[in-house]
Structure 1
Amino acid sequence: MGSGSRSNRRPGLLDGLDPEQRAAANAPRGPVCVLAGAGTGKTRTITHRIAHLVDSGHVAAGQVLAVTFTARAAGEMRTRLATLGVEGAQARTFHAAALRQLRYFWPRVVGDRQWDLIEGKFRMVGQAAHRAGAATESEVVRDLASEIEWAKASLVGPDDYPAVAARLQRDIPEPAARVAEVFRNYEKLKTEAQLLDFDDLLLHTTAALEEHGAVAEEFRDRYRCFVVDEYQDVTPLQQRLLDAWVGGRDDLTVVGDANQTIYSFGGASPRPLLEFTRRFPEASVIRLERDYRSTPQVVSLANQVIGAARGRPAGSRLRLVGQRPEGPQPRFAEHDDEPGEAAAVARRVRELIDSGLSASEIAILYRVNAQSEAYEQALSDVDVPYLVRGGERFFSRTEIRQAIVALRSAAANGPDGDVVDLVRQVLGRVGLTDQPPAGGAAREKWDALLALVELAEELTATVPETAGSSLARYVAELEQRAAAAHPPTVEGVTLASLHAAKGLEWDAVFLVGLAEGTLPIQHADGDDEAVEEERRLFYVGVTRAREHLSLTWSLSRKPGGRRNRRRSRFLYGLVPEDHPASRVARTGGGARVTGSKARCRVCDGLLTSTIEVKLSRCSRCPSDVDEELLDRLRSWRTGRARELKVPAYVVFTDATLIAIAEQQPADDGALVSISGIGATKLERFGTEVLAVIRGGER
């Protein structure tokens, strides 16, 4: 039955939605695809859609299963549904939903003692590697664990792994046959110990539904309506589980943005999102492009970033339209070295806080976690509190565990009164004072306890009185968040990787370390698809900012070091023409850079593709490669790769060798001007490469 065939019981339920959001929320029951750009209110839209379906009588709240990819997003969805008066709808991550279902059906499907879930696979993968004769250094074991996760998420078993890895040219830590043997050993060890990893939750739940008709029938009678958030990040394994959930039905709503696909390394693919209408030709498709998060200045920059992407599928061409008032222009800054960059960012953070901006509304985002150290020190130097996202888990802190025990005990006694006041009274007994301590560990503890009070205030303000607001309800929400690793906000500047920042937003965002070799990351160079994913990661970073956006990079790693870095190619065309970093420059035999645009060293035409930027010439101009030098470089690379026990392309890609053989750099400065040769590779291979160019072997 279409949603237009009966009126809402609450006429004002969809008030406040824009026309596109309302169209998505009010779409007929059945397949719906919402293409939602960053900041366009997708969570608001899909929770209103669920509320509308429930309110209109199309589905009972308990028959709704909404899944997303992070515990935080699932928690936010539950809170918003409670605000809309929807009780009983399930909002969980894929893994949390599968765990709940598997525990329920286990006695019928397996019958014996339920297997335990392992938190991390590192130790067992190490044992499997030892049995296979593979390297067991920490870095290798971590890479092997990641490769096993990718294989399981991609529905690739140990027997098929070598062929698939070869076809996809996977960058792997050991020969494919050995990785497969490690994979096989790991699965055997795990089965012998009667343990499950997180991927097994999805695999076994899928098998239970596919292979046991009675289980599938009971599940599908229980759940009738499905919603999938962040659908661009679905893996083949998650898609197969979703298919098992849905069965032959079509009451499915998917929401996503192919421009924010940043987890391909883990098996994610936007293909199911982009091909949704091919699978469901009758599906309603709604595009959300009104950006309510960011100022027009930030939105404009974001559109420029993603507009330069190559090979964008038609379904990904969303162009955001800023809805907020005008704001400051994004800032660009070039620094001599990393410590200087970090110090300048910390000073600007201090200025923003002194002007009245909350520290918790500021984030410093970087490509790799190792970059955080310099910013931790710089923020400490200017007395700014910070939180490293991905550090110690909030609910693992001693004071938080003690606080939950105390709150649970108080709730059991059923005290009357205002929930916020009761929470403050209880936490006062475990260390929450009226005034904060001066600083250090004591201040961190105080801030953490205060966050629990603020969560009580948030729930009291958002959850309707009819839903109940007792201390017991607050403790239940707290325990649910602890189980889902969904912490409340704690005061402090956020330090996070670009991947960890997905789904979050701040008033002020600093994107730091925007240099070639870091963004795009060095191992992505030479692979156009990998470089485009790095561009999307940059786009995600830009779209985290509501108002203030700063983009910075440095030319050297250490003070006094060689200033041989180049700013990221993704900044071409973004840095204003009158900015000092946009000056005309010519380095070695490389491309001429004018107004942040790379130009051909032969015809002076604009370079557009990754390979053109690398070769410093456009595809129309003839190659002047020195074939003899190219042979020498390839011979050197083969020997070096054998010494390091890595694939040859890890040393240098073919495209980088061609660029070297064409441009024949004579010194470090000219060598580092070639795309794909950053500070790390210069330090490791620069002297050798220059020797090969001069005619020697090493």
Structure 2
Amino acid sequence: TRLGLRSPEVVEQEFGGDVRDFPTVVAGYRKALARHGLLDFDEQILGAIEILCRDPEARAAARRACQVVLVDEFQDLTPAHVLLVRLLAGPEANVFGVGDDDQTIYGYAGASPAWLIDYADLFPGSGSHDLTVNYRCAAPVVDGARTLLGHNRHRIAKTIHSSAQREPEDGALDLVSGPDPTALTCDAVQALVDDGVPPSDIAVLTRVNATLLGPALSLDASGMASTKPVDLRFLERTGVSAVLSWLRLATAPEQRLPGRDLGVAVRRPPRGVRPNLVDWIVEKPSLREIAALANRLNSEKDQVRVEDFVADLEQLRALAEGGAETAKLIVAIRDIVGLGSALDNRLDASRRSVDRSAHGDDVAALLAVAALEPDAERFPSWLAERLEHSVHDPAGVQLSTTHRVKGREWPHVIVHDATTGLFPHRLASDVEEERRVFHVAVTRSSQRTLVVAGVPASPFVEQLHTEADPEAPEPEPVAPQRSDSSGEVRTKKVERPEGPVADALRTWRFEKARAAKMPAYVIFSDATLAQLAERLPSDERALLRISGIGPVKVERYGEEILAIIAEHRDP
């Protein structure tokens, strides 16, 4: 909200109201910083802008001191940075910007290729000088990257070529694919080391950090030194914790089900089980006692929810008793129990960018290492032991996400798991930025890049060798958008909804707000209530499509809202 120069109210609406009263939080945070005489990085920029805008003397003094402004990595600026540069430069606009629009990969932080594409509009009278030689990469890598980027529409037209001083190098850009990308990546690393390449000259790069779990543990198991991209904190991730709890419940003695794991599993995936009912369930050490509890419940809804939980756990335990190994049980937890769809449709539903691993990526990471410990009973403790005792070795193979290594290079780069769903990431809305991320990964090598793809391979793999069709229509965003083309969330005057559903929702909101001692709009805004009364959603997925409602509010209020709508809507 600060570096993006966006209203907290707009940001709160766009992200589905997941943070209670976000505008008040932002204002309170800024006041607390000022009260204690503190600054964070964002406040340095925003505070400087505010001073330069309101104080002519300060603005004049700053411009005298900044007669020429040199900005490197110009494409990585945020809207606030660009405004600050323009305020410092003043009418003279003596700004020397250095950057590459094709390396704009921090869109989640506000970076945009537009800063370079529209440079002449930002700084009238400016000229340009293209740097068209890639001195780092071999010719096949440069040619592949150029062909790949030709599929982007929003970029500065240019033709990059390799240095004429380099000899042609066969195999400098290669591809292997198969159903087990982790094994392929580790085999490629071992082959390079066997050929005499120092481990520190090899980088394994991928889209999100969780995907590095497989290579990290597999290399560690083979005795290959590497950096440590994943640590014990991984076990605290919601999806990971849930999978491990289900595994422990599937393999525990029938009369000694761990209470803590019962408490996690009955809530993941969410079933709408009341907190006090969860407390009763965790006190029952066996499925038989939990089933008996369900039979004693007065509420039919509660009874069905507990019975469904028992049925899921019985099915999973039957698989385990039948000899199912770790991977098969994790797939069952994801697909049969329904944890996978719950993570994608609820916890990750409000994501507008992929600046870190999604919960679904975490489950995929567990599957990638499941074969290393096929005994499902041992898997949770084995994983904790490996994460605790694996060694971070800076002289080993470098394991990293692409976002962390822009500007760096290694002789040998392996782009790991270039698979549909990761490149481009399934939750990302900007395919062109995802293509730029892939381009940055491919071009980190000075000698050779190997792309390791799963099944099905990323569409970007083919685009390394296939020229773009200039007549092809521009692709639509791959993720649902809640904003118009200007980037601003659509707003309009909210009419007060009428009817029994609207009245019941207003009464419910008033009572909730009074009980929580907070303003009613913090529960739901008038605009959100109007959409509820108009659209009459009948399930949680429909609730998530309403602006102002995100996974947190569905978790908190979803069941009550759906019950009110079902009770008061016209038959």
Q: TM-score if structure 1 supplies the norm length?
A: 0.43
Partner of 1:365: 205
Distance 1:155 1:391, change over 3 A: farther
Kindly indicate whether structure 1 or structure 2 has the higher relative contact order, using CA contacts under 8 Å at least 6 residues apart.
Answer: 2
CA distance in 1, matches of 2:23, 2:91: 35
Taking the aligned partners of 1:160 and 1:636, their CA distance within structure 2 comes to 24
Q: What is the Cα deviation at residue 356 of structure 1? A: 2.9
8 Å Cα contact 1:234-1:270 kept in structure 2: no
Query: 1:498 Cα shift?
Result: 1.4
C-alpha separation in 2, matches of 1:612 and 1:492: 39
Q: How far off its partner does 1:612 sit?
A: 12
From 448, 461, 471, the counterpart of 1:571:
461
Cα 1:509–1:608 change in 2 (3 A) is farther
Deviation at 1:646, TM superposition (A): 8.0
Q: Partner of 2:169 in structure 1?
A: 327
SS in 2 for 1:375: helix
Aligned pair 1:550/2:450, yes or no?
A: yes
> Quick check: 1:504 aligned with 2:408?
yes
1:347 aligns with 2:347: no
Matching of residue 317 in structure 1 with residue 317 in structure 2: no
Structure 1 SS opposite 2:6: coil
Q: Distance in 2 between matches of 1:636 and 1:366?
A: 42
Is the 1:359–1:385 Cα contact (8 Å) retained in structure 2?
Answer: yes
Whether the 8 Å CA contact 1:328–1:547 is kept in 2: the answer is no
Cα deviation digits, residues 99-152 of structure 1 (max 9, x gap): xxxxxxxxxxxxxxxxxxxxxxxxxxxxxxxxxxxxxxxxxxxxxxxxxxxx11
| 1:521-532 matches, cutoff 5 A | 521-524=425-428, 527=429, 530-532=430-432
- Secondary structure of 1:332's counterpart equals strand
Q: Partner amino acid for 1:549?
A: T
Cα distance, 1:296 vs structure 2:
0.5
**2:206 and 2:194 mapped to 1: Cα distance?**
24
Q: Give the match for residue 657 of structure 1.
A: none
Shift of 1:218: 4.2
Alpha-carbon distance, 1:609 to partner: 5.5
Matches within 5 A, 1:397-476: none
Is 1:533 equivalent to 2:428 in the alignment?
no
Q: Residues 609 and 204 from structure 1, CA distance in 2 versus in 1: closer, same or farther, beyond 3 angstroms?
A: closer
Is 1:639 aligned to residue 539 of structure 2? yes
Is the 8 Å Cα contact of residues 508 and 548 (structure 1) preserved in structure 2? yes
Question: 2:126: which partner in 1?
Answer: 283
1:257-268 aligned within 5 A? 257-268=100-111
The 1:280–1:189 alpha-carbon spacing in structure 2 relative to 1, beyond 3 Å, is closer
Deviation at 1:250, TM superposition (A): 3.3
Q: Which has a greater percent of strand? A: 1
Question: Within 2, Cα distance between the matches of 1:179 and 1:516?
Answer: 35
Match of 1:200 in 2: 43
Distance in 1, matches of 2:477 and 2:76, equals 30
Q: Deviations over 1:14-40 (max 9, x none)?
A: xxxxxxxxxxxxxxxxxxxxxxxxxxx
Q: Does 1:298 find its partner at 2:114?
A: no
Q: Distance in 2 between matches of 1:193 and 1:357?
A: 53
After superposition, the Cα gap between the structure-2 partners of 1:568 and 1:251, relative to the gap in structure 1 and judged at 3 Å, is: same
1:34-65 deviations in Å (ceiling 9; x for gaps): xxxxxxxxxxxxxxxxxxxxxxxxxxxxxxxx
* Structure 1 residues 186 and 648, CA gap change in structure 2 (3 angstroms): closer
SS state of the match for residue 552, structure 1?
strand
**SS of the residue aligned with 1:253?**
strand
The residue identity in structure 1 corresponding to 2:420 is E
Q: Which runs of 5+ in 1 are unaligned?
A: 1-150, 393-439, 448-489, 556-565, 576-595, 600-605, 615-634, 652-698
Shift of 1:510: 0.9
With over 3 angstroms needed to count, the CA separation of the structure-2 counterparts of 1:598 and 1:206, relative to structure 1, is closer
- Aligned letter for 1:492? G
User: Counterparts of 2:396 and 2:118 in 1: how far apart (Å)?
Assistant: 42
| Amino acid in structure 2 at the alignment position of 1:201 | Q
Once the two structures are TM-superposed, the CA of residue 572 in structure 1 deviates from its matched residue by: 2.8
Structure 2: how far apart are the matches of 1:233 and 1:209?
Answer: 22
Contact 2:79–2:110 under 8 Å retained in 1: yes
SS at match of 1:195: coil
Tell me if the contact between 2:17 and 2:550 (Cα under 8 Å) persists in the aligned partners.
Answer: no
Tell me the amino acid that sits aligned with residue 417 of structure 2: G
Indicate if the aligned counterparts of 1:331 and 1:551 stay in contact, CA closer than 8 A: yes
Q: Is the 8 A contact 1:523 1:650 kept in 2?
A: no
Letter in structure 2 aligned against 1:326: P
- Determine the structure 1 residue equivalent to 2:421: 517
Counterpart position of 1:243: 86
1:134 match: none
Q: Tell me the alpha carbon deviations over residues 621-649 of structure 1, each in whole angstroms, 9 at most, x when there is no partner.
A: xxxxxxxxxxxxxx999624257798799
Q: 2:404 is paired with a residue of what secondary structure?
A: coil
2:113 aligns to what?
Answer: 270
Q: Give, in whole Å, the separation in 2 of the partners of 1:539 and 1:506.
A: 15
Cα distance in 1 between the residues matched to 2:6 and 2:30: 13
What residue identity is the alignment partner of 2:437?
L
C-alpha separation between the residues in 1 aligned to 2:56 and 2:548? 50
Q: Is the CA contact (8 Å cut-off) linking 1:638 and 1:648 kept in structure 2? A: no
Number of residue-to-residue matches in the alignment: 338
Match of 2:397 among 468, 476, 493: 493
Deviation sequence 1:326-369 (CA, Å, 0-9, x none): 223322122223xxx22321222122223232322211111111
Correspondence list, 1:88-167, <5 A: 151-159=1-9, 161=11
Give the Cα separation in 2 of the matches to 1:382 and 1:238.
Answer: 46
| Aligned residue number for residue 228 of structure 1 | 71
- CA distance in 1 between counterparts of 2:8 and 2:161 reads 47
Q: 1:638 to 1:359 in 2, by over 3 A?
A: farther
Query: Letter of the aligned partner of 1:242 in structure 2?
Result: V
**C-alpha distance in 2, partners of 1:541/1:551?**
9
What do you get for the CA RMSD once the two structures are aligned?
3.9
| SS of 1:283 mapped into structure 2 | coil
Structure-2 change in CA distance of 1:641 and 1:191 (3 Å):
farther
Q: TM (normalized to structure 2)?
A: 0.52
**Matching residue of 1:479:** none
Note the residue ranges of structure 2 that are not aligned, 5 or more in a row: 233-386, 480-534, 552-571
CA contact (8 A) 2:228 2:390 kept: no
Contact residue 99 and residue 116 of structure 2 kept, 8 A: yes
Asked whether the 8 Å contact 1:387–1:492 carries over to 2, the reply is yes
Task: Verify the 8 A CA contact 2:411 2:447 in the aligned structure 1.
Answer: yes
* Matched residue type, 2:197: L
SS of alignment partner, residue 285 of structure 1: coil
The yes-or-no answer on 1:382 pairing with 2:229 is no
SS in 2 for 1:288: coil
Matched AA of 1:362: I
Matched, 1:180 2:20: no
Q: 1:188 to 1:247 in 2, by over 3 A?
A: same
Counterpart contact for 2:147–2:467, Cα < 8 Å: no
Name the aligned partner's letter for residue 334 of structure 1.
Answer: S
